[in-house]
Homo-oligomer: A and B are copies of this chain.
Amino acid sequence: MIFTLGELSDLLAVELRGDPSLRIDGLASLKNATAGKLSFLSNPRYVNQLASTQASAVILEPALATASPCAQLISSAPYVTYAKASQLFAPESATEAGIHSSACVHPSVVMGEGVRIGPNVVVEEGVRLGAGTVLGAGCSIGARSTLGENCTLFANVSLYHDVHIGDRVVLHSSVVIGADGFGFAFDGRQSIKIAQLGGVQIGNDVEIGAGSTVDRGALDDTVIEHGVKIDNHVQIAHNCVIGEHTIICGCSAIAGSTSIGRYCTIGGGVGIIGHLQITDKVMISAMSLVSQSIPEPGVYSSGTGLLESKEWKRNIVRFRQLDDMAKRLRELEKITPGK
């Protein structure tokens, strides 16, 4: 893909300062850019890399434009402009137009225009696929599930039955949507399976990373609202509700029936236990365990931080004595003159 700077200025709706006929064939960081590349400066940490960049053009704030040694695309939000530019250079899906001859598509399936179905895809009875949706090789779409327009499923995604997905949703390889929630009733001797009769609802503009799972609800649906972005290896249990535009980083797990608000950021490896309510705009730092509802926006953490193991062992022994230490401190305070 090649664009002229003039075309990029138009497509990105930003001001160009420089030669509109310059040809741009890709994006690169300030440090690694070579001639023909477009770069960007959004993090002030990298401002010192600007003067020496070999990029042909750079996206930056108006205030920094004069410091640039090359052409400029002027943006009040350079990182957002870079994101939009990156989409222009993304390679097209290799899934060919139409339905591959090896795909098994039930005759009842309803499809919009331009749907692409790759090799070995299986689409069961009653499925609806919106216009422009692409199913990569080996995907399986369960009975009565629906996908909106312009969704992209990469290879080997598994959707169970009765899963409903909005427009422009991206599901990466090995994602599983609609597997049974983990529900059993213990009869004193063994665990009796609770059939998971709910479904899954996923809004528009959701992206779900490789290997992540969203379980179907026990009775009601599990819900992922518009604009939620979920990284790899994330587990969303049955009957969770994830609010609009929330971000969930890799390897986090949300247990059953927990609701998370809008515009939250859940760090990597976070665990959130079941039946909690997390309000809007909460940030949880990496590998924290959330075991109570969070009614106030803010930043929350848990853990001990990392120590060299020798030092860690010394302190960890004291952690086990902490209650005892607190009592002894209180005792000393009582008997020390002047307290």
Binding site for B on A (CB under 8 A): 26-29, 32, 77, 79-80, 82-84, 86-87, 89-91, 94, 100, 102, 104, 118-120, 122, 124-125, 136-138, 140, 142-143, 154-156, 158, 160-162, 170, 172-174, 176, 179-180, 182-187, 189-197, 205, 207, 209-211, 213, 215, 218-220, 227, 229, 231-233, 235, 237, 245, 247, 249-251, 253, 255, 268-269, 271, 273, 284-292, 298-323, 325-326, 328-329, 331-333, 335-339
Contact = CB atoms under 8 A, between A and B. Distances in A.
Contacts of A231: 182, 235
A288 B218 CA distance: 27
Q: Main secondary structure on chain A at its contact with chain B?
A: loop
B332 A325 contact: no
The 4 closest A-B pairs by CB, nearest first: A158-B173, A140-B155, A90-B195, A83-B185
Given A179-B210, A210-B179, A86 B197 contact: yes
A335 B338 CA distance: 7
A249 B308 CA distance: 19
Given A189-B245, A303-B316, 4 more contacts: A83-B195, A122-B138, A191-B247, A299-B310
Contact of A305 (B91, B185, B291, B314): B291
Contact of A156 (B156, B249, B255): B156
> Taking the full assembly, how many copies of this chain does it contain?
3
Counting chain B CB atoms within 10 Å of each CB, the highest count among A77, A140, A317 belongs to: A140
A166 to B, nearest CB: 14
A235 B250 contact: yes
Contacts of A305: 289, 291, 302, 316, 319-320
Contacts of A335: 336-339
A301 to B, nearest CB: 4
B122 A120 contact: yes
Contacts of A118: 122
Given A86-B197, A156-B158, A158-B156, A122 B119 contact: yes
A247 B192 CA distance: 12
A205 B158 CA distance: 23
A218 B336 CA distance: 62
Given A179-B173, A306-B289, A333 B336 contact: no
Contacts of A210: 158, 176, 179, 213, 215
